[in-house]
Structure 1
Amino acid sequence: MPTNLVILAAGQGTRMQSDLPKVLHEVAGAPLLHHAMQAGATLQPDRVVVVTGNGAEDVAAAAQDFDPQVLIAEQTERLGTAHAVAQARTALEGAEGDVIVLYGDTPFVRPETLERMVEARADHAVVVLGFEAADPGRYGRLVMNGDALERIVEFKDATDEERAITLCNSGVICVDAATLFELIEAVGKDNASGEYYLTDIVAIACSRGLSATAVACEEAETLGVNSRADLAAAELVFQNRARSQAMQEGVTLQAPDTVWFAYDTVIGRDALVEPHVVFGPGVTIETGARIRAFSHLEGCHVSRGAVVGPYARLRPGTELAEDVKVGNFVEIKNGILDAGAKVNHLTYIGDASIGAGTNVGAGTVTCNYDGVFKHFTEIGAGAFIGSDTMLVAPVKIGAGAMTASGSVITSDVPADALALGRARQENKPDLARKLMERLREAKRNQSGGNS
């Protein structure tokens, strides 16, 4: 049966104290909205509708960045969750199958949980996702009769007996598309908040002879983000999950609590990650690679047997082939390093390709930017780049070529040639002593004048 998603992302999030829409605050390098969309994407939905409101244009753009086919519906008035879902009616016109309502500020509902909700829909008209709360607080309560869900009661409207219930409402609901909007039409706003609650559709369904039930999940899956403190808690939940999963899949994390993953980090088995490593979005680490301490990686690919760091930075567009060595205080951006290449220390490689087996000496810089355009540096296989070489792009260094230390290379170097691009050294006898005496005398005179 087809599945469709409605993701509510209209909230203002006043407790965030931010000009940024709440669903665009990031966990693990991605907006909260993307996490919700990613969870739902595993169901291969026919249609995905994101309901925007506060910061509608920015939220819509973020949704389309994740899924260009997403449909956008705007809630111009904030009249409650049922009203928000109703805005998706036009986008879902003619849709077949179920609709799952998710929330853009609730990033951790597992795909497996959503699949269980879809399975439960085979026997019930309405399926609600609930959780046993350690501290039920102000959550809505699920009023059950056996496996039948009779109604959902918001905390503000609950009796003392209902508030004693610990099975709480996550807000996530699965309903047949046609039935969903029929039920929403019957929702009123006779409640403490004067809003149209989506949760009311359960009692309405039961009054019409339709069955409802609840599927339970772990409380951590339902964590909503409403404040900066919630955002920090959500980041920790994600990181703990990611670290645990990586180790279960055969990755060695020497100090797990100090390693930070992005939402899409991929690391192969038998890779080793030392302490205090940060993975930004778009990183793939192959089997057997080693990422040494205090390195930062984003938008890059590291192949088998490569070693990165310590204190290295790999930026977007970086491709390291097998057995490449990138050492301390090296930054690489949009650089391709072929097998066995070495860039061991104190070097910047930008917009460049480096051939297999090439050694790049300390202090080397590819001077790739002229203030307007970026230019490319090409270094052939087996070359030797002497320390403190400035490679002024665009420039090509042939296979087997060498550059002398301290050179400024502005022209192409043929294969197997040695390039020297530095001024001739001159020694001035006794000038160093005379210069220092003059400087010390000036300092003494300056001190005497100030006293």
Structure 2
Amino acid sequence: MTAQDTPLAIIVLAAGKGTRMKSDTHKVLHPIAGRPMLEHLLANAAELTPQAQVVVAGHGRDQLEAALNGRATIAVQDPQLGTGHAVQMAEKALAEFAPDGDVLILYGDVPFVRSATMGAMIARLNAPDAPAVVVLGFEPEDTLQYGRVIASDGVIAKMVEHKDASEAERACRLCNSGLMAVKARDLFALLSRVTNDNAQGEYYLTDIVNIANADGRVCAVVVTDDEHEVAGINSRGELALAERRWQDRRRAAAMADGATLIAPETVWFAWDTQIGRDVVIEPNVVFGPGVTVADHVTIHAFSHLEGAKVASKADIGPYARLRPGADIRARAKVGNFVEIKKSVLGEGAKANHLTYVGDAEVGAGANLGAGTITCNYDGYFKYKTVIGERAFIGSNSALIAPVRIGADAIVAAGSAVSRDVADGELRLVRAEQLVKPGWADRFHDAMKKKKAEKKGG
């Protein structure tokens, strides 16, 4: 049986209180690139098609249950007596899991472990020498308080926590990430033999390596070449650093794939942003989740896009806002201070400035003048506006939904339209203008005289 054929279970440790984050939100649910860090981790693990997933929770269990929505079993660690104790809490949830299956132990606040790295750990676990435990190691620039992996040629002689390490052991640069791969039949048997006889009085997961070694079993280490892959996130500062690193990689990938970023450090992508070739993105553009941008699009400065589709050769911004459901068709123009939500802007259509389009369909070639708004909400329900092809909507018009403007129709500037407009029709809805010749001159004269008298008094 190969590593690929072996059933796989994932245990994610997420029982910490996250006190350094100083937040009411569970630590592992804080987003990076618009996606909770736990979801980043589970998405990478999903590429290995695990048959079982267990998340060990403590503080904030209800938040994790809501976020996972049945996608993983929740095991509760209370009280919290160390990492070894935390993994033991998953034993009941995995009672029916194949004993010869592989178990991968991950951490919810270490979200960017690559699926390839996970796969390398599983492959090593299933190597001919059949190691009891595989540990993921890394060599950071600063070893800080990390536990050490004392190994030779990839075989572990000893695992030791920093607090319990000698000076000679602390000189070792190979550190323990905390991630492990273990056969299900070995994991809980080894954990049952772990004690809390250490400086912290806790049950260390790492002790299973030393116990297996004492039994004459081989334990192995796989070393990642990227220390940032196993960086834990415990504070707002570390969260911001992780965000910056993620964004730097994504910006580089976008440019490598053929997009132009005028000022890369000012562009912010979401985890699922899709950008085509020959797209030009000017400074200070922010992508929320759910955005797809086709080839040859220009997105001007200070625009914000979320949940939107932008077709080829469209032109967006500057200072445009595309909200969820915005569907911008080929060669359409969304200009400055234009907001579009849950609406189609047809091929070649234009909304050049100071316009709100919500719950609408705008036909190909239509033009929306400055200050046009679709009045789509009455305080209780949303209503739809349909604007036909090549229709011209004059500036400062209010289209009161539900309403339909026909193809080639014209709505005169300043109109408030509450009834349908037929194809090719002109609709003008304005109050009659009242003209009083000389009135303004007389008013100004009277007010100037009054002001002078008041000043003289």
- TM-score tier by shorter-chain length is over 0.9
**Alpha-carbon deviations, 1:271-307, whole Å to 9, x = none?**
2211111111111111222211111111111111111
Conservation of the 8 A alpha-carbon contact between 1:6 and 1:50: yes
Tell me the secondary structure at the aligned position of residue 215 of structure 1. Answer: strand
Q: Where in structure 2 are the equivalents of 1:203-222 lying within 5 Å?
A: 203-217=210-224, 218-222=226-230
Aligned twin of 1:78: 80
Cα–Cα, structure 1 residues 371 and 205, in superposed 2: closer, same or farther, change >3 Å? same
Aligned twin of 2:3: none
Q: Where in structure 2 are the equivalents of 1:48-447 lying within 5 Å?
A: 48-64=53-69, 68-96=70-98, 97-123=101-127, 124-217=131-224, 218-437=226-445
Question: Which amino acid in structure 2 is aligned with residue 72 of structure 1?
Answer: I
Conservation of the 8 A alpha-carbon contact between 1:4 and 1:99: yes
Q: 2-side partners of 1:445 and 1:54: how far apart?
A: 75
**Alpha-carbon deviations, 1:130-182, whole Å to 9, x = none?**
11110001011111022101232111111111111111111111112222222
Cα–Cα, structure 1 residues 212 and 307, in superposed 2: closer, same or farther, change >3 Å? same
Q: 2-side partners of 1:215 and 1:322: how far apart?
A: 49
Q: 1-side partners of 2:132 and 2:186: how far apart?
A: 8
Per-residue deviation, 1:41:
1.6
Aligned twin of 2:11: 6
Conservation of the 8 A alpha-carbon contact between 2:154 and 2:222: no
Question: Which amino acid in structure 2 is aligned with residue 89 of structure 1?
Answer: E
Per-residue deviation, 1:445:
7.8
Tell me the secondary structure at the aligned position of residue 206 of structure 1. Answer: helix
Cα–Cα, structure 1 residues 431 and 103, in superposed 2: closer, same or farther, change >3 Å? farther
Conservation of the 8 A alpha-carbon contact between 1:151 and 1:200: no
Aligned pair 1:30/2:35, yes or no? yes
**Alpha-carbon deviations, 1:284-334, whole Å to 9, x = none?**
111222211111111111111111111101011111121111111111111
Gap runs ≥5 in structure 1? none
Conservation of the 8 A alpha-carbon contact between 1:357 and 1:381: yes
Q: 2-side partners of 1:337 and 1:178: how far apart?
A: 59
Q: 1-side partners of 2:456 and 2:311: how far apart?
A: 63
How many residue pairs get aligned? The number is: 446
Gap runs ≥5 in structure 2? 1-5
Conservation of the 8 A alpha-carbon contact between 1:351 and 1:375: yes
Conservation of the 8 A alpha-carbon contact between 1:8 and 1:50: yes
Per-residue deviation, 1:63:
2.4
Per-residue deviation, 1:56:
0.9
Q: 2-side partners of 1:446 and 1:305: how far apart?
A: 63
Conservation of the 8 A alpha-carbon contact between 1:337 and 1:353: yes
Identical positions, percent: 52
Tell me the secondary structure at the aligned position of residue 340 of structure 1. Answer: coil
Q: 2-side partners of 1:133 and 1:72: how far apart?
A: 32
Per-residue deviation, 1:443:
6.5
Q: 1-side partners of 2:111 and 2:456: how far apart?
A: 68
Q: 1-side partners of 2:122 and 2:325: how far apart?
A: 40
Root-mean-square deviation (CA, aligned residues, Å) is: 1.8
Cα–Cα, structure 1 residues 397 and 60, in superposed 2: closer, same or farther, change >3 Å? same
Aligned twin of 2:46: 41
Tell me the secondary structure at the aligned position of residue 162 of structure 1. Answer: helix
TM-score by length of 2: 0.93
Q: 2-side partners of 1:70 and 1:18: how far apart?
A: 24
Q: 1-side partners of 2:55 and 2:196: how far apart?
A: 23
Tell me the secondary structure at the aligned position of residue 194 of structure 1. Answer: coil
Conservation of the 8 A alpha-carbon contact between 1:50 and 1:60: no
Q: 2-side partners of 1:25 and 1:442: how far apart?
A: 64
**Alpha-carbon deviations, 1:192-221, whole Å to 9, x = none?**
111111111111222223321111111111
Per-residue deviation, 1:233:
0.8
**Alpha-carbon deviations, 1:209-247, whole Å to 9, x = none?**
332111111111111111111111111111111111111
Cα–Cα, structure 1 residues 436 and 174, in superposed 2: closer, same or farther, change >3 Å? farther
Per-residue deviation, 1:442:
6.9
TM-score by length of 1: 0.95
